[in-house]
Structure formats: C-alpha cells, structure tokens
Amino acid sequence: MPSDAPTGFFQRLRAAFSRGGETLSAGLGAVLGGRKIDAAALEELETRLLQADCGVTVTEELIEGLRKRVARQQLGDVDALLAALREDITALLTPVAQPLVIDRAHQPFTILVVGVNGSGKTTTIGKLAQRYGADGLKVVLAAGDTFRAAAVEQIGVWATRTGAELVAQATGADPAAVAFDALQSARARGADLLIADTAGRLQAQTHLMEELRKVRRVLGKVDPSAPQEVLLVIDATQGQNALAQAQQFHAAVGVTGLVLTKLDGTARGGIVLAIARQLKLPIRFVGLGEQAGDFAEFDAAAFARALVDGPAV
C-alpha cells in the first residue's frame, strides 16, 4: 500500500462509512449473540454487503469464500469472520490499487479528465494540479468544458491557486480545438503535465460521447501517444449507476484510471468492490470533499478496514 497514504484521511473515510450504523461490522456481535458462525450469520452479513452497494456478484463471491472457511472450521467467531472479510476485500482491491505514475519521458504527460455532470471533475483537476505542482512539475490546465459558462472561470481559479498555467478559449468553442491548442502550447512552454478538462455529460448522450472520442483523436495528432491517461471521475454516491457509467465511458474512450469522489456523502463504499471486480480498471485516487487534504491515493487495505470496521475505537 502507498507509504504516503495519509492516516487521517482514511480515519475520516471510516467515519464517513459508519454514518447511520451502516458499516459491515456494526452491531454484528450483538446480532450473532456470541454463537458460532452459521448459515444465519452469513445470511446477515450477505444482507449487509448488498446494502453497502457491493452488488450481487461480489457479494456472492465473498460469502461463498467465507462459507468454505466456515465449513473447514477456520472461522470460530465474529472477530475471525470479520478478519477474513477484510482479507478477502483487500485481495479483491489490491490489483486495482495502482497509483498514477507521471512518465517524464512524455513532454508533457497528458491527462484527459472525463465524467458525468456533477461528478467532481473540476475539483479533481484542481487537486491534481496542486499535488503535482507541489512535486515540482510545471502544470498546464486546459479549459475544455466550453459549454458551461462558469467552467472556464472555475478552472482559472484552480490555476491561480496552484500556480498552474491556463489555456482557454471562449464559451462555445470546439473542445477538440481547445485540447489541440493546449497540448501544442504545453509543449512550447516546456510543461511536464497537461490536465485537460472536458464537459460533463451523461453516458447515454451518444453525440457527446462521440465528441470525447474526437478530443482524444485530436490530441493524438499532436502526440501519437497522447493522452497518456484517461481519468474517469466517478461520484461514489451514485451506487450501481456508477458502474454503468464506468462501463460506458470505458467503451467510448478507453479509460485508464479512476477517481472515486464524494465518499463523504451518502456513498456506502461497496460500489468500489463492484467496479474493481467487473472492470479491473486502476483506481488512482479517492476523494472526500473540496479541500486538498480530502484527496489521497487509493489504498486497498485501508479502504477494506474503513468499509468493514467503521471508525477506530
């Protein structure tokens, strides 16, 4: 797991998942009444996994794995059951816990940020600019959301705040043209990193998804390897709909990494397991809120603890 994962961030994540007593472990000891793990206990846990948005496939696989351990008499009490569940969730998430690596061989390394309206793209772009600017990289932001009047202004605020440079055109400009100019400009300025915004869209809006494909093609005309990362920002409060979004964006533009936002909201966390199981796409970052400290690299073991245990006692 990442050595720099901020402990305070994941403590807050555990607290967020515990709202309303919705953690998988909450009150399980009282429910089981100290008895050994049996079919009824596993059924109770199965219900909790489904309520946490893990989805049917992931829930069935986790429960089946626990059932086999119970049959081999490996799980004698609630603590052993929960430890096994944490272990299995960590194993599921570990392959997708892949931090974003900025390959300095690309000048600039280009990140195309996509997602539906309200997913948190602008805030994510700002946090990325802050993160990599603090690492000493020269960052350029491309204001590719030319449809929403406030979008350019919002990206501009983040550019000023983080010391990044901004490439923008007038509202209504062709987003592909903005991306093309931004990559050429970033090259000319000797930038290390270009982060390109796009207009939020619903995954069912086929003409807008085609526009994303065009943006990607145009970037490739400047640099055949660009974009090096297509980062999909997903609002975790969307539950199973978030999985559908990820599937359709991936089919349209070839997503290479995920950012899961708003885990401090009504998100129940289990959707992360469903996405990991079905798409196997790298999860780069998770976010809790608007501030710089509300953003961290994804840590499989810490996330599993947060989901299962809730806040530390």
> pLDDT per residue over 134-155, tens digit each?
999 999 999 998 888 788 899 9
Tell me what pLDDT residue 3 has: 39
Question: Is 27 a residue whose pLDDT tops 80?
Answer: no
DSSP conformational letter for 269? S
Q: Which residues contact 268 (CB under 8 A, 6 or more apart)?
A: 17, 22, 51, 52, 53, 239
Question: Is 29 a residue whose pLDDT tops 80?
Answer: no
- Whole-angstrom distance, CA of residue 74 vs CA of residue 67: 10
Q: What domains does the chain contain, in order, with CATH numbers?
A: 7-96 (1.20.120.140), 109-297 (3.40.50.300)
- Average pLDDT over the chain, rounded to whole? 87
- 97-138 pLDDT, tens digit per residue, is 999 999 999 999 999 999 988 899 999 999 999 999 999 999
Question: Is 193 a residue whose pLDDT tops 80?
Answer: yes
- Whole-angstrom distance, CA of residue 238 vs CA of residue 89: 21
A 10 A CB-CB count for 58 gives: 24
- 160-179 pLDDT, tens digit per residue, is 999 999 999 988 899 999 99
Among 65, 263, 233, CA closest to 145: 233
Residue 95 or residue 17, greater confidence? 95
Tell me what pLDDT residue 19 has: 61
- Whole-angstrom distance, CA of residue 160 vs CA of residue 204: 34
Give the confidence band of 205 by pLDDT, cuts at 50, 70, 90.
Answer: low
- 253-311 pLDDT, tens digit per residue, is 999 999 999 887 665 788 899 999 999 999 999 988 777 678 899 999 999 988 888 65
- Whole-angstrom distance, CA of residue 187 vs CA of residue 199: 23
Percent pLDDT > 90 in the chain is 51
Tell me what pLDDT residue 53 has: 85
pTM of full prediction above 0.85: yes
Question: Is 44 a residue whose pLDDT tops 50?
Answer: yes
Question: Is 313 a residue whose pLDDT tops 50?
Answer: no
Percent pLDDT > 70 in the chain is 88
- Whole-angstrom distance, CA of residue 207 vs CA of residue 28: 48
Give the confidence band of 1 by pLDDT, cuts at 50, 70, 90.
Answer: very low
